[in-house]
Amino acid sequence: MSISFSQELLISTLAIILVPLYMLYLRSSRPKNPPALPTNWPIVGVFPYLIANFHNLHDYLAAVLAEAGHNFRAHGPPGTGLRFFITCEPANVRHIFTTNHANFPKGAEFAAIFDIAGGSFFTTEGEPWRRQRARAQRVLSNPRLLVRMTACCRDKVENGLLPVLMHMATAATPFDLQDLTTRLVFDMTAAPLFGVDPGLLSPDMPPMDAAAAMDTVMEVALFRHTVPASCWKAMRRLNIGPERKLAAAHTVLGGFIEEMVERRKKEHVANEGDPSSVDILSSYIDDLDYQQNDGLLHATLINYMIAGRDTIGTALTWVFYNLAQNPHVMSAIRNELSPIASRKAATGANNSSTMVIFEPEETKSLVYMRAALHESLRLHPPVPIERKTAVANDVMPTGHVVHAGDTLLISLHSMGRMEGVWGKDCLEYNPDRWLSEDGKKLRYVPSHKFLAFSSGPRLCLGKDISFMQMNTIVAAMVWNFDMEVVEGQRVQPKMSCVLQMKNGLIVKLKKRDM
């Protein structure tokens, strides 16, 4: 049954009035040792707890799921349709993502939340999704495109990242590493996508309007996930609150995509037949379905930007943070890189006298560095929460019953922090947990336990590309520089659908003596 605008406004108003009252009641009646589990209160459900803990939502969910045994059921105010089953149990994840995945699509509400990517394979289901995914798989497996993406990554490291880092090290200037990795990965994603380099990682550090707009999309999306749809839809109609900010972000992103498409269309005609002009956009420009539907083309391009920029850029910042906090891990990675650097020095293969640049192929088989990356992704998955909807009633492997229409929230962030999943040292950064006994191979860990690249039919198509990029960037930075996280800053996740750091990551660098 559809809800009118007046009904949306009424429900939103009631929530605004009742939630603070319930929070005051909770505060006044709170026992000395309150339980970790929130109470499903009448009328407002767990909504007061979500509001009270929204600033630290990911850690709060981890505490709740640890107390509840990896699974928790919650509901929101009546009439809002907020019925949640929250889980981080690997057996349930396998059931949801693989065994009975047809019963757990992302759902219409997910598509509404990410309306900016509406119609793309990020939000669609069924035959449209299968058709678009097959198309994306063909595009991303194109050997020419893979060569270009590899070359783009290598070039950005040598001619963009390392000179900037050298400047920062020479000046001994503290800087925001998250800002730098965002610029780097935005360029690395956009160049092979549009065939045009935005040039955000340049000496003058230009404004990042499109990147900032993408951040806004992800922040407001988390807000949409956690409040009744009637609430955020009423805000959207009234153009107030987070929805006002989101509307401005949509305008900026739409303008950026349109500019990139128009520039590439002109170059596509001029350079037709040039093998060096291969890019992702060109493979869609001549497709009749996309020619006749600019909205679908734009949504698909934003889908690629999210998949590339948000995930890799976010992951890298946490990788460097974890390495800086664990110097012995950084030393072990350098020991693994040392034979490669020695060979390059002996053969004169390195073009720079002061920097060592590692080719993507040289780092592909490095076991310990891959283990270090996996461990960072375990503790800090770029996408901390996945959302699904139950089509029909079902029973989870743990015995929990879900009903048709229930929203399932899978907390990846919590899964990496569960003692029952990863052992008593689950909160420690320990790459050794990924290694075989002799340390020469990676242990097999099923995707439903390590969900950083999703699982089942929606397994990430760009996983190998992601590791190629991270290997190349991490190797260059770890080998050439010592890094120190500036003391006194509070490192915590931003409340967003991607696990960026709320306050950035301020670091200082020192050039290593070779």
Q: Which segments are annotated as binding site for heme?
A: 460
The single residue listed with the structure tokens 């955000």 is 200
Beta bridge partners of 75: 83
Query: What is the DSSP secondary-structure string of 415-443?
Result: HTT-HHHH-TTTTS--GGGGB-TTSSSBP
Here the tokens at position 216 are 């806004």
> Could you tell me which residues come within 8 angstroms of residue 427 by beta carbon, excluding any fewer than 6 positions away?
379, 417
C-alpha 201/C-alpha 187 separation (Å) is 7
Q: Are 388 and 410 in contact (CB under 8 A)?
A: yes
Total residue count of the chain as it appears in this document: 514
Alpha carbons 311 and 500: distance in angstroms, whole number: 9
| Helix/strand/coil for 332 | helix
Asked if 38 and 49 count as a contact pair (C-beta separation under 8 A), the reply is: yes
Task: Calculate ∠ Cα 196-202-208, nearest 5°.
Answer: 75
Q: Which helix (H) or strand (E) holds 494?
A: none
What is the rounded distance in angstroms from the CA atom of residue 14 to the CA atom of residue 513? 64
What tokens does 141 get?
């497996």
The DSSP secondary structure of 449-486, one letter per residue, reads TS-TT--GGG--TTHHHHHHHHHHHHHHHHHHEEEEEP
Rounded to whole angstroms, how far apart are CA atoms 101 and 21?
A: 40
What lies within 8 Å, CB to CB, of 336 at 6+ separation is 366, 367, 368, 369
Residue by residue, DSSP assigns 68-137 as HTSEEEEE-STTS--EEEEE--HHHHHIIIIITGGG---HHHHHHHTGGGTTSTTT--HHHHHHHHHHHH
The DSSP code sequence of 351-405 is S-SS-----HHHHTT-HHHHHHHHHHHHHS-SS-EEEEE-SS-EE-TTS-EE-TT
Compute and round to an integer the Cα radius of gyration of the chain. Answer: 24
Token pair listed for 263: 């520039």
d(CA 305, CA 190): 7
Helices 177-194, 311-325: crossing angle, 10 deg rounding: 150
Whole-angstrom CA distances from 170 to 162, 164, 231, 487, 510 are 12, 10, 51, 20, 7
